[in-house]
């Protein structure tokens, strides 16, 4: 990870409807010394994006109350350009293509490969 370990100002928002999936991501990212935030649905994600500046957002697609696609659209319509990675159990190539067409910066399928996740974070966080 380029310089991320040394920069405590980096904030990552994890948007995940399942607590166990959030805890897994939190465990993966714990050594990165970033400040983690958790939103359990798209509505909470939008609210957090309005009151915080994030370095990166990891957003699940299928969530209660508001899915990741709808949340992404609202976040982008509000002028928030934070890199957003779609993370989902939908693992077909067409799902990746849809996510990228919708405006996600990257896509990762579940179960999440730690090395691939770190490579994406390294690429997207400047």
CA geometry: angle at 3 spanning 59 and 118, to 5°?
35
Total structural domains in the chain? 1
pLDDT of 126 reads: 66
Considering the domain boundaries, does residue 126 fall inside one? no
Considering the domain boundaries, does residue 90 fall inside one? yes
Considering the domain boundaries, does residue 1 fall inside one? no
- Total-model pTM: 0.89
Range of the domain at 98: 8-121
pLDDT of 1 reads: 37
Considering the domain boundaries, does residue 92 fall inside one? yes
Say how far apart CA 88 and CA 21 lie, in whole Å.
11
Say how far apart CA 12 and CA 6 lie, in whole Å.
15
pLDDT of 9 reads: 67
DSSP state, residue 110 = S
Considering the domain boundaries, does residue 23 fall inside one? yes
| The two three-digit tokens of residue 39, written as one number | 């939103």
Which uninterrupted H or E stretch holds 75?
Answer: helix 68-77
pLDDT in tens, 3-24: 444 445 689 999 999 999 999 9
Residues of the chain with pLDDT under 70: 1-9, 126
CATH number of residue 113's parent domain: 3.40.50.2300
């Amino acid at each position: 990870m380029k310089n991320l370990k040394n920069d405590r100002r980096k904030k990552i928002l994890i948007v995940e409807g399942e607590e166990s999936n959030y805890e897994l991501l939190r465990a993966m990212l714990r050594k990165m010394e970033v400040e983690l935030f958790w939103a359990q649905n798209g509505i909470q994600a939008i609210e957090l994006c309005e009151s915080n500046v994030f370095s990166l957002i990891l957003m699940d697609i299928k969530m209660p109350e508001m899915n990741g696609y709808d949340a992404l659209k609202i976040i982008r319509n509000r002028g928030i350009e934070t890199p957003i990675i779609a993370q989902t159990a939908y693992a077909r190539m067409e799902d990746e293509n849809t996510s990228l067409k919708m405006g996600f910066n990257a896509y990762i399928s579940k179960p999440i490969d730690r090395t691939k996740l770190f490579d994406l974070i390294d690429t997207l966080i400047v």
